[in-house]
Structure 1
Amino acid sequence: MQLSIVSALTVALGVASALPAEVEVRGTPSNAPVTFDHAPDQSKSFTCGGKTYTGHDIYVSAQRGVALQEISETRGKNQYPHSFDHNDSKGHQLNFPSYCPEDKDRMEFPLIKNGPYDGGKSNTKQGDERVVYFYEPGEVDNNGHAKATYCGIMTHVGAAQKGGFILC
């Protein structure tokens, strides 16, 4: 039996319409090293929001944020990483270091223990803490690794208003 082009197209469209309407296509972010200026010591611990994180937890979270930016992807309902280009957090002034500019390339990404965060499309369980870093896409070090600047960590815990942040 020979199908005409119109018949073949009709069959193909019928098969395509039977596929699930919402398929999340995700790239695989790189685990390549990232060079962070002003990064915390990976062997030390830091308290934020009543939780203790290692410098390695902080590095891994920021590394994943940069890797996702490099492939133009986000994770979770809130589409992380996303820009954190201001110092006002619901009426509370955040004082980031001067080397971390208020700029569209200053980003926030969820900070979790033994991460990194890799939430699905509807995932809202990213926790209360964020790592903040500055990354200008395409900037690399002498070894060809992405180069970024660590700005700090922040939490919703203890913020004056719901949804606000305080620096740790």
Structure 2
Amino acid sequence: RRRAPPRWPAARRPGEPCVTTSRSFGARARYVPARRMTRSPIFAALLLLVAACKGPAPDEGVALSPQAAKGKALFSTLCASCHAPAAKLVGPPLSEMAALYATDPAGIVRWAVTPGRKRADVPPMPSFRGVRESDLADVAQYIIEAGTAAGKQAP
């Protein structure tokens, strides 16, 4: 008598993905070829597109002074990795800084040049001693204007 070939390895071609159709494993498991996910790259691209489509930034649509407009460009390269207009990242949000330094924008410049450590749970802010004070003043003006606008938009 001829023996029947085993069901599961023969049903699967080498290199073909497979899934089990039952919760049992071993000799009782039945394997069937898995469908190739042809739509997954399109789905992933669509998901990334939706994730990238956020609402407008809190400072968008706010009329900035010329000094603050220069500061916005510098802020995006120097500060945006740790600070956001309304959300707390590594550093405090601009709305919090604007509330602290609304009457003293030069305090932001002093803090950027010689930062201390205010919070033990976050890494200390790096010093921006190598940046010109006029550029830091532009960044400070942007922080005040954008942070005030973000504070007004917050619920």
- Give the structure with the higher percent strand: 1
Does TM, normalized by the shorter one, top 0.5?
no
Max Rg structure: 2
Give the TM-score range, shorter chain.
Answer: under 0.3
Output the TM-score relative to the length of structure 1.
Answer: 0.25
Q: Which has the higher helix share?
A: 2
